[in-house]
Chain A
């Protein structure tokens, strides 16, 4: 049965990969790099909110924290990109571990608020620290040669490098979700008490998932530091944490491709609405408003639901995936 369940989403992911390979012909690669980074960020977040049911509100800490770490290593310490990225990811994972351990015992809205509070404190540290360059940010981060030899200063080369890394990370997420570990996570999401009575150390699983999500969000941030050559306080601000929630929601929580679509929608809105001048923010708000009212499950979620409905007609009872997300929300 699982084979059936996996196939469409893995197929779609492969289609996305193919599209990613061809995209630079049609769309500006700089935009695509940004898109890839945010798609990974949203997918990492989705791992937590979609598959464990934890609505964290501080993921900018990992995204921006890793960004700062990578930027600092590249620019001020002159390390190579792969080492800088690794350090960024480790830094984000460590932050994730700390935040996870602190917050994971709290439920529902209290969990969200404790992550928000920790994120605010981290933001304060970043704003005060001299390492981050304060409100000016870290600028002119060099695109040093990969491993010290491969030139990545060209937009296209860097794009394909980032595409490869993001694809690999997406694969990790995909494997995690569909591994025995992932099934335990979904079990926790759907009915935590049952998992406890089955003898699972639920908190430990949650902390591991939280740390993994933080590390992947950190990877996204590290890549962005290289792609954009710039890290600023906006990257650790709560509005960035809010934005990634928005991406996951618009695309479809708990779907494999939803976060990618969500990131695409939001970045497109940010980059291509310029013609409306003063009304941009209002229009953004209206689009979100309508999405929630009309396509509540997110774009990918709605498509998946249609697909499932058709499948359900032919095959016998199969548990509605998206409904279970909704149920989990009720039960918390």
Chain B
């Protein structure tokens, strides 16, 4: 490990950051949903895949290019999310959280199963809209990867600002901490809840579109990511948006470092970190323990 050249280390750190950008987007969506709805959204992985397939369907049948899909696909996925929340999830808010979890899990199963029945299991091609790259000296950075980091950072920071600085955000935060209290102030919590779910799901869809040009688009593309992203949210502290974002990027970097030391462990290291974090900080790095 000691004889690893500095260029390699820098390269790994940068690549880790890029992967972290995906984790951050996905975990931000999960954290928002959990924060306001107290729902562990098990459909997140499938909604990520749905985003990629929405982009694909848009390009195949409506000839919408990547840049259009970047806006449209998350909206489509978000609308699916809103419908699901309004029609079904809503009915379960008065029950145990496990039932909501099971409902989102079933939704994920149906989504993945349907995509596979329609498109097969091996996946479908989706072209890269930003070919080429730039030599940074220590590594070759493809333009598209740079773009992913920029978009992810912008969306994450934007979402964070809205929630931390705006009036809407203050309601959201209030609702995160005391949803019952907010209702008594006459704020239309149900609409807010619906839109929040839609936004969180839309973020998963956005991550899916962004993944489409570089990862093989297949129905199961999100299933591996799902529990990793859960771990990211928990490490950041459930309900803490800043925590989810930071943990997302940090975990990407940590994976990168693990790939230098012992690559086979790169997808397990996050869980070791999670155990360690939870033993020291019971509610994650940035979370407060609300039992």
Identify the A interface with B (CB < 8 A): 55, 102, 105-110, 113-114, 116-118, 120-121, 123-124, 128, 238, 242, 245-246, 249, 253, 278-286, 288-289, 292-293, 296, 325-326, 328-330, 332
Q: Which residues of B contact A55 (CB under 8 A)?
A: 98
Contact status B113-A113, CB under 8 Å: no
Q: Which residues of B contact A289 (CB under 8 A)?
A: 88, 103, 106-107, 110
Chain A residue at minimum C-beta to C-beta distance from B274 = A117
Give the interface centre of A109, A242, A296 by most chain B CB atoms within 10 Å.
A109
What are 8 contact pairs spanning A and B, CB under 8 A?
A102-B279, A116-B230, A121-B268, A281-B109, A285-B112, A292-B92, A292-B106, A329-B95
B117 interfacial by beta-carbon distance below 8 Å? yes
> Shortest Cβ distance from A62 into chain B, in angstroms?
17
Contact status B97-A113, CB under 8 Å: no
B10 interfacial by beta-carbon distance below 8 Å? no
Q: Which residues of A contact B234 (CB under 8 A)?
A: 109-110, 113
Ranked 5 nearest A-B pairs via Cβ: A281-B113, A329-B96, A285-B109, A282-B113, A285-B110
Q: Which residues of A contact B268 (CB under 8 A)?
A: 120-121, 123-124
Say yes or no: A288-B109 contact (C-beta < 8 A), given A120-B227, A330-B96.
Answer: yes
Q: Which residues of A contact B109 (CB under 8 A)?
A: 281-282, 284-285, 288
CA distance A281 to B110 in the complex (A): 7
- Main SS class of interface, B: helix
Contact residues of B between 102 and 118, Cβ < 8 Å to A: 102-103, 105-114, 116-117
Q: Which residues of A contact B227 (CB under 8 A)?
A: 116, 120, 238
Give the contacting residue for B102; candidates A110, A128, A246, A279; CB below 8 A: A246
B212 interfacial by beta-carbon distance below 8 Å? no
B283 interfacial by beta-carbon distance below 8 Å? yes
Contact residues of B between 240 and 291, Cβ < 8 Å to A: 264-265, 268, 271-272, 274-275, 278-279, 282-284, 289, 291
Chain B residue at minimum C-beta to C-beta distance from A112 = B40
Q: Which residues of B contact A328 (CB under 8 A)?
A: 96
Say yes or no: A326-B40 contact (C-beta < 8 A), given A105-B282, A117-B271, A288-B109.
Answer: no
Q: Which residues of B contact A105 (CB under 8 A)?
A: 282
Q: Which residues of B contact A283 (CB under 8 A)?
A: 113
B24 interfacial by beta-carbon distance below 8 Å? no
CA distance A284 to B114 in the complex (A): 11
Chain B residue at minimum C-beta to C-beta distance from A125 = B268
B231 interfacial by beta-carbon distance below 8 Å? yes
Q: Which residues of B contact A124 (CB under 8 A)?
A: 265, 268
Say yes or no: A110-B271 contact (C-beta < 8 A), given A292-B103, A296-B95.
Answer: no
Contact status A293-B275, CB under 8 Å: no
Say yes or no: A329-B106 contact (C-beta < 8 A), given A113-B274, A116-B227, A118-B275.
Answer: no
Q: Which residues of B contact A282 (CB under 8 A)?
A: 109-110, 113-114, 117
CA distance A128 to B99 in the complex (A): 35
Contact status A128-B264, CB under 8 Å: yes
Give the contacting residue for B113; candidates A108, A120, A285; CB below 8 A: A285
Q: Which residues of B contact A278 (CB under 8 A)?
A: 116-117
Q: Which residues of B contact A107 (CB under 8 A)?
A: 282, 289, 291
Q: Which residues of A contact B91 (CB under 8 A)?
A: 293
Contact status A293-B88, CB under 8 Å: yes
Q: Which residues of B contact A325 (CB under 8 A)?
A: 96
> Shortest Cβ distance from A261 into chain B, in angstroms?
16
1/0 contact string of B118-153 vs chain A (CB within 8 Å): 000000000000000000000000000000000000
